[in-house]
Structure 1
């Protein structure tokens, strides 16, 4: 696994309480199929505190021996309907364990998974799809939430972080050091009822949404810059500034 990229891509911070509020918000504002996908970020890592008693049924929690912990969900959009995921969990200071990776097709609702059979939660194949769905449902909701409230700083705030990354050779020796820039988003979901105005804004957003500029890797390995753009019906986009 490419653990190094977890420290290089944009990240989103979400507490256990906000994770639960996000689920409630999504259920209250969303209508129709749950595969509506509006990715405002095409690649990043979600650092999500999870209380398994809030997320899963008690039988699953007991069977898997789940405890509150920090999960890392790396995502990268492959095309308009497929997203590549890697799921990790924190097992100590600056240490993560790879649990599974997979590609999820949101048009056909299919998933191709590879499980780390040595994972410490002893995740079985028969539970893997449920586990992936439970984790990635937050990704769908979060992308919609960040788009809808992108101009509300009390809900979606961010800062640009600059850091230096040192590459190492195969024998562990340090090689070159280069500066990188990443954006850290802090998402807050208040426990307040969804208003009719918010529902109308969400319906308008579903017809057109903005995508932040990003680098895309072509099949040849070459990287090309994709400018910020609008997807869907461009005439329906709200006349405000996109900050992501």
Structure 2
């Protein structure tokens, strides 16, 4: 794990209230395709509020600091079927604890993971896979939500930031300073029913998407290379457009 990268990658902010609404939205709009999603972001960290009585205030959003009662889910897309995750949780003022890390295969429905046995939430290895599934479901839902409502700023707003990171050399004398560009997304899920128009837009979004090349493990244990290809209706595939 590299704690310092949590402060350098793009962030997605989600309050506890919006987190609950996101779960409801996802259950009501998808058609069983839990494992199919196009990553809007290939790498980032989801900062999710845990305490329903706390809200992200303006100072937090502006400073992007940490408060208590937050879960942090770092993700990195390895290919179209595998995602690497690291899960953290705040345990005090500006103190972050590593809970677990692992790679999840969304086609073979397998997870390879390790946990911090001294974690403060009492998570045991026999419950780790279920915990990972519960936490990472927000990642799948968010990628779909951000893709569908990418042009609606009242739902998906963002701010581009530029800061510098200073690092000492091995001898501890000189310091190297480099600029870091990052984006902070603020996600809002309104408390409204999903319309038929939204359902049709979501269905159209899922009609075709590109799949990058990746290795697949067969039941025999042998690995085979899957070439890049298109799933769904090729004629309805939209050109590559980066919206954020």
Q: The TM-score by the shorter chain falls in which range?
A: 0.7 to 0.9
Aligned residues: CA RMSD: 2.4
Say which is worse superposed, 234-243 or 106-115, in terms of deviation. Answer: 234-243
Q: 1:123 to 1:159 in 2, by over 3 A?
A: same
Contact 1:29 1:199 in 2 (8 A): yes
Does structure 2 conserve the Cα–Cα contact (< 8 Å) formed by 1:89 and 1:98?
yes
Whether contact under 8 Å (1:166, 1:174) holds in the other structure is no
**Does the aligned pair in 2 maintain the 1:19–1:50 contact within 8 Å?**
no
Runs of 5+ in structure 1 lacking a partner?
53-67, 212-230
- Unpaired stretches in structure 2, ≥5 consecutive residues: 53-67, 212-229
Q: What's the counterpart of residue 111 of structure 1?
A: 111
Instruction: Quote the residue 2:160 is aligned against.
Output: 160
Aligned to 2:92: 92
Q: Deviation of residue 207 (structure 1)?
A: 2.1
Question: Which deviations, in whole Å up to 9, do the C-alpha atoms of 1:11-70 show, x marking residues without a partner?
Answer: 100000000000000000011241122211100000011259xxxxxxxxxxxxxxx820
Cα distance in 1 between the residues matched to 2:42 and 2:100 = 20
Where does residue 217 of structure 1 map in the other structure?
Answer: none
Task: State how far apart, in whole Å, the 2-side matches of 1:124 and 1:69 are.
Answer: 20
What is the alpha-carbon distance in structure 1 between the residues aligned to residue 163 and residue 95 of structure 2?
19
Q: CA 1:135/1:89 → structure 2, altered by over 3 Å: closer, same or farther? A: same
Question: How many residues are aligned here?
Answer: 211
Distance 1:73 1:174 in 2: 33
**Measured at CA, do residues 173 and 12 of structure 1 come closer, stay the same or move farther in structure 2, by a change above 3 Å?**
farther
Given that 2:169 and 2:176 are in contact with CA atoms closer than 8 Å, whether structure 1 keeps it comes out as: no
TM-score, length of structure 1 as denominator length: 0.79
| Structure 1 counterpart of 2:45 | 45
Task: Look up the match of 2:191.
Answer: 191
* Cα distance, 1:131 vs structure 2: 0.8
Find the residue that maps to 2:158 and give its secondary structure.
strand
3-state SS, counterpart of residue 96 of structure 1? strand
Residues 172 and 7 of structure 1, relative CA distance in 2, 3 Å threshold: farther
Residues 14 and 234 of structure 1: is their aligned pair in 2 closer, same or farther, counting only changes over 3 Å? farther
Rate the CA distance shift 1:168–1:3 in 2: closer, same or farther, 3 A.
farther
Alpha-carbon distance change, 239 to 12 in structure 1, aligned in 2, over 3 angstroms: same
TM-score, reference length from structure 2: 0.79
